[in-house]
């Protein structure tokens, strides 16, 4: 099955700075790469996703980039705010079959 590695495991930034989280995957057949945000005690929520036919996708302050050749994808958050503090998970799957998640990144935004 797919293996997803995520770095860093913890990330601390000052409010207003940018944050970058990186993931690598093992299965070259994977074609769908979502990112989830999980606040303490809550369920994971989809924040952005990208499909393999696209190299970059942006939604306001968040963006995701995908490098299929190198099998890695990244989440970029600009102008971070305290409410961005949470655990972020990347995932990879082929057509939503057998979706595997990274171990998560705990992001702390200091005011």
Partner 1 sequence: NAGVTQTPKFQVLKTGQSMTLQCAQDMNHEYMSWYRQDPGMGLRLIHYSVGAGITDQGEVPNGYNVSRSTTEDFPLRLLSAAPSQTSVYFCASSPSPGDGYTFGSGTRLTVV
In angstroms, what is the minimal distance from the CB of 34 to partner 1? Answer: 5
Binding residues for partner 1 (CB under 8 A): 1, 6, 31-32, 34, 36, 43-46, 49, 51, 89, 91, 95-104
Look at residues 2, 8, 62, 6 and name the one whose alpha carbon lies nearest to residue 31.
2
Q: Which is nearer to partner 1, 34 or 77 (CB)?
A: 34
Rounded to an integer, what distance in angstroms lies between the CA atom of residue 54 and that of residue 32?
A: 10
Q: Which is nearer to partner 1, 1 or 111 (CB)?
A: 1
In angstroms, what is the minimal distance from the CB of 80 to partner 1? Answer: 22
2 within 8 A of 93, measured Cβ to Cβ: yes
Rounded to an integer, what distance in angstroms lies between the CA atom of residue 109 and that of residue 53?
A: 32
């Amino acid at each position: 099955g797919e293996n997803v590695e995520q770095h860093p495991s913890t990330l601390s930034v000052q409010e207003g700075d940018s944050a970058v989280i990186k993931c690598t995957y093992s299965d070259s057949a994977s074609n769908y790469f979502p990112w989830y945000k999980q606040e303490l005690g809550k369920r994971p929520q989809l924040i952005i996703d990208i499909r393999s036919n696209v190299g970059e996708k942006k939604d306001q302050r968040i963006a995701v980039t995908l490098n299929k050749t190198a099998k890695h994808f990244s989440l970029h958050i600009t102008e971070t705010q305290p409410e961005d503090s949470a655990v972020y998970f990347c995932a990879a799957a082929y057509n939503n079959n057998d979706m595997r998640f990274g171990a998560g990144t705990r992001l702390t935004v200091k005011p």
